[in-house]
A and B are shown apart, each in its own frame.
Chain A
Amino acid sequence: MRSACLLALMAAVAPVACTRPGDDRAARDLEIGTARAPGVAVAITDGLAHVRALSPAAGGSGGGAIELWAQAPILDLTLDLDDAAAGTWTITVGNALADLALTAATPSGAAPVTELGGPRPTVRTWTLDLPAGRTSIRIAPPDAADLAPWRFVVMGDIQDALPHVHEVFARIDAEPGARFVISTGDIVHRGREDEYELFEQQLTTLDLPFYSTIGNHELWGDVDGWYRRFGRATVHFDFRAVAFSLVDSASAGIDPAIDALLDGWLAEHAAGLHIFATHYPPLDPIGVRMGSFASRREGQALLGRLAAAGVDLTLYGHLHTYIAFDNAGIPAHVSGGGGAEPMRFDGIDRHFLVVDVDPTASRVTAVRVVRVD
């Protein structure tokens, strides 16, 4: 009887206790950035954009259209066309920097490109005539290699404030010089399709691209809603000599497959400026609250790796407040001011951060809190 009781208990908790709750997402991340259609294949380096549509022209007349959602400021991709697919292609990038330019190298040399602009600053469209074979395309802004100081914005935890987040976006748009927004997740409250639709509508009011990882609230609904729209939950990119690792911790921890990727990024950028962002703080600065990774031991191990690799700044969400502190000697900022139900008694409601970086000096020069309310 006692053995049966124990086994019953183990069976009861086994579905709840999962050692890799994020393994499906880690696997799915790897599928992002590639697409095929008759006569054409697209591959985006490091999965930094999601292929929302790949539409060869009807009737086999050649050419077609590609629609991408960018999760990084610079995109490199290859386009493989067979003879029937060669022709005029239209490439549209959503969530784009306003000053992106597209260059294409075909087997016969540089392809002529026509810039068509877009309906708003974050949508860019080009047409180009492409021959059969492999075309390498680079979509990047003119300042991609500029080592002058620059800035970006950080925000997180919008959740049920989606109907009003355009007010935060308007304040971000008014911030001079910011190149893009980094989000630590929880862009929706319950992961519903209508929330994702509303989020995209609200994004049309933001003049900067919004690169985000996911939070635990995206897991309330079918996380497919995220993948079909935005692509990877974990992204890593370099821009103007600064490395960004936006890492999926939506299950209150990091999947070992993502950890392996992170180790590579940490090694690659040990000597440069590296900024790490994830939803959960690995360790809650108020330890008794436990608003952090599910395992303190995992959080400690992660911070040890970040510190050993010389990460320069850590950014978190999940707690709907603003807290500046150090973890493992690395400056850390919790910023959950996107509008989700705010923490009380902390003296701050909706807000975002403006981060100034100096690539030449290889340091973060300032982190400024901008209050919206």
Chain B
Amino acid sequence: MLGPMLWRCCGGLVISAVAMSMSLAHADEPVAEPVAPPPTRARRALAIGAAIVPGVIVRGAGHWVARERRTARRLLVIEGVGLALAAAGGIPIGFSGGAEETLPGLIFLVPGTGLLLGSIFADAWGAAGGAGVAGEPSPPPRLDAALGYTFVGDPRVPFANLATAEAVARRGRAQAAASGWFGDGTWRARGAGGLRLRGPRPAERPADTSSLDVEMAVAAERRADQGLRVATAEVGALARLDLARIGPSLRGTFTTLGVALGLERIRYTTSGAADTSSLFAAHLGWGFLLGDGRARSLETEVYYEHRRDTLAGGLTPPTPFNGFVGYVGAVTTGWRGRWGASARFDAGSAYVFSLAARVRLPELQR
């Protein structure tokens, strides 16, 4: 009963959260801040401090001190929307002790939390004058392929070194992806197909990187040493909002919000038993661009991943919440022409560090 209920809500989730924040901010298009004298170095330092205290509580405080008042107000509105969504979803879940009937509230809690967290980073970035170093976006490549290595720091698993491979191909609105890893008696393969509902398409140089994608994916995994076979099927959506829509000081930054619902089938090969489990995953991220978006570019994102089925597991803070949280991470991808490299670090109940060499086609023109 729960799965269909969540899924009915899922379709509108990402769109509604992002659209709500955008419309409340009255920012359908990139906007121009009223001309104000550039902040002095002292004021800039003060603004950075204000983005932390009281910015963590009152979003936009950093921009306010930096005299970017319109963006400050919009960040405050986004915080309000985030609080409202988080409260709408989180209070029933908390009050009920996590009752199944209230779990669809995750549909509101997750994007609300995303807006709350993303606006902290955005305020700090803008207050620090990040727009001055921000880069330009690159068009999505038709093909992005990578080979890499992953180190898993987890004393509970009988492997630590994995070889990885992934490829994403795009044609028009359609997207197909394949990825996998193997090593030390274990492997995983994942295939996905998706559709870009909104946003830049391959080879289109975007003025605005905002996008909305939906995806279906299946994965299979073998853990020979542990006698496990795991199959997963997921349906999800990922939205990206170009924060230049909120204010010019946020040019070159973005926030991401994704949700997925799925099923996981675990087969215990030693005993022959099997379990089926439902899966809810969410992604909340904030990132920035550097470079010219042509010859050189770099995109970095920090994120919270609300899931515990990956190699990273979930965080275990010494609080009552250590039963219900996912993991955090950061990924950075740099390109120089056709060639690129990426690094990812995830921290949950395990550390996972990945490096990959990448190639993209077609090569971008200088």
Q: List the interface of chain A (C-beta within 8 A of B).
A: 1-2, 5-6, 9-10, 13-14, 16-21, 216-217, 219-220, 251-254, 256, 259, 280, 283-284, 286-298, 300-301, 303-305, 307-308, 318-321, 326-330, 341-346
Q: Mark B311-327, 1 if CB is under 8 A from A, else 0.
A: 10111111110111111
State A283–B226 Cα separation when bound (angstroms). 16
Q: Is the CB of B156 within 8 A of A343?
A: no
Q: Is the CB of A6 within 8 A of B315?
A: no
- In the complex, residue of chain A having the shortest beta-carbon distance to the beta carbon of B92: A344
Q: Is the CB of B316 within 8 A of A296?
A: no
State A307–B300 Cα separation when bound (angstroms). 43
- In the complex, residue of chain B having the shortest beta-carbon distance to the beta carbon of A281: B323
Q: Is the CB of B332 within 8 A of A2?
A: yes
Q: What is the CB-to-nearest-CB distance from B333 to chain A, in angstroms, rounded to a whole number?
A: 11
Q: Is the CB of A308 within 8 A of B271?
A: yes
Secondary structure class of chain B's binding surface, majority of residues: mixed
Contacting residues, chain A, for B319 (C-beta < 8 A): 216, 220
Given A217, A220, A259, A343, which contacts B98 in the complex, CB threshold below 8 Å?
A: A343
Given contacts A6-B332, A321-B97, contact A253 B316 (CB under 8 A): yes
Q: Mark B247-283, 1 if CB is under 8 A from A, else 0.
A: 0000000000000010010101111111101111000
User: Which 9 pairs show the lowest CB-CB distances between chains A and B?
Assistant: A295-B313, A329-B273, A17-B347, A287-B277, A288-B280, A343-B97, A307-B271, A287-B278, A308-B270
Given contacts A303-B275, A304-B228, A327-B275, contact A291 B324 (CB under 8 A): yes
Most buried by B among A6, A219, A290: A290
> Please, how many residues of chain B have a CB less than 8 angstroms from a CB on the other chain?
70
Q: Is the CB of B99 within 8 A of A344?
A: yes
23 contacts between A and B (CB under 8 A): A16-B328, A17-B315, A19-B154, A216-B320, A252-B322, A253-B316, A280-B323, A287-B278, A287-B279, A290-B326, A294-B349, A295-B348, A298-B156, A298-B349, A300-B275, A304-B227, A308-B271, A318-B323, A319-B97, A321-B99, A326-B275, A343-B97, A345-B96
Given A6, A290, A345, which contacts B300 in the complex, CB threshold below 8 Å?
A: A6
Q: Does B292 contact A (CB under 8 A)?
A: no
Q: Is the CB of A20 within 8 A of B106?
A: no
Contacting residues, chain A, for B270 (C-beta < 8 A): 304, 307-308
Q: What is the CB-to-nearest-CB distance from B35 to chain A, in angstroms, rounded to a whole number?
A: 28
Q: Does B169 contact A (CB under 8 A)?
A: no
Given contacts A17-B315, A300-B266, A345-B99, contact A9 B278 (CB under 8 A): no
Contacting residues, chain A, for B274 (C-beta < 8 A): 329
Q: Is the CB of A2 within 8 A of B349?
A: no
Q: Is the CB of B351 within 8 A of A19?
A: yes
Q: Is the CB of A259 within 8 A of B97?
A: no
Q: Is the CB of B97 within 8 A of A219?
A: no
Contacting residues, chain B, for A297 (C-beta < 8 A): 157, 223, 309-311, 313
Most buried by B among A10, A259, A283, A295: A295
Q: What is the CB-to-nearest-CB distance from A213 to chain B, in angstroms, rounded to a whole number?
A: 15
Q: Is the CB of B264 within 8 A of A287?
A: yes
Q: Is the CB of A20 within 8 A of B324?
A: no
- In the complex, residue of chain B having the shortest beta-carbon distance to the beta carbon of A9: B330
Q: Does B4 contact A (CB under 8 A)?
A: no
Q: Is the CB of A307 within 8 A of B101?
A: no
Most buried by B among A20, A220, A328: A328
Q: Is the CB of A291 within 8 A of B98?
A: yes
Known: A216-B323, A288-B106, A307-B273. 11 other contacts (CB 8 A): A9-B302, A13-B347, A287-B264, A300-B230, A321-B97, A321-B99, A326-B273, A328-B271, A329-B268, A329-B271, A346-B99
Q: Does B345 contact A (CB under 8 A)?
A: yes
Given A16, A292, A301, which contacts B223 in the complex, CB threshold below 8 Å?
A: A301
Q: Does B168 contact A (CB under 8 A)?
A: no
